[in-house]
Amino acid sequence: MDRKLPKVSFLALASIGWADGSLHRIEGVGLLRAARECGLEGSELDEVERAARKHGSIEDVDLGGLSSWKQVLTYALASWFAALDGVISTTEHQTLVRIGDKLGLDPKLRVRAAAAANDIACLPGGGRPERYDFVKLCERLRERLPQLAAEET
């Protein structure tokens, strides 16, 4: 099962964290854990860690070139990440919309990806970044979007 995502996916997530002016500790923990779980290491992980410490904008992130599967997985993670601190501010919502636009995702795919992320967040302990189950997120996306799941292989 392909959970590997490129660094740009996590730079986009960092921009959501910074959208309200500060990236909270819980968001930083969630961002770095997601990056590790999804295959980042070394200098790429270091760059994501720097993005968690320094204010960045989604306008600085190029999300072009991702497969449809990686677009949906990125958006699902972004949906989870936007809600991680318990509140989705107006600016976080606007950034999430902008990420969906930059990914070129159809609004119906956005809803399904966000619903899959929420399903996993609602599992016991799933609302905490150290307990969020990225494998189950991929499985849930496969169930909800079987037409894109073929891209995993």
Is the pLDDT assigned to residue 3 strictly greater than 70? Answer: no
Instruction: Identify the three-state secondary structure at position 37.
Output: helix
% of the chain with per-residue pLDDT over 70: 93
Higher pLDDT, 153 or 103: 103
3-state SS string for 48-66: HHHHHHCCCCHHHCCCCCC
Residue 1 has pLDDT above 60, yes or no: no
The pLDDT value given to residue 150? 67
Dihedral angle of Cα 32, 122, 75, 81, to the nearest 10 degrees: -40
Mean pLDDT, the chain, as a whole number? 88
Q: Identify the band that residue 149 occupies on the pLDDT scale cut at 50, 70 and 90.
A: low
Per residue in 57-102, pLDDT (tens digit) is 899 899 999 999 999 999 999 998 888 877 788 999 999 999 999 9
CA dihedral 147, 4, 37, 72 (to 10 degrees): -40
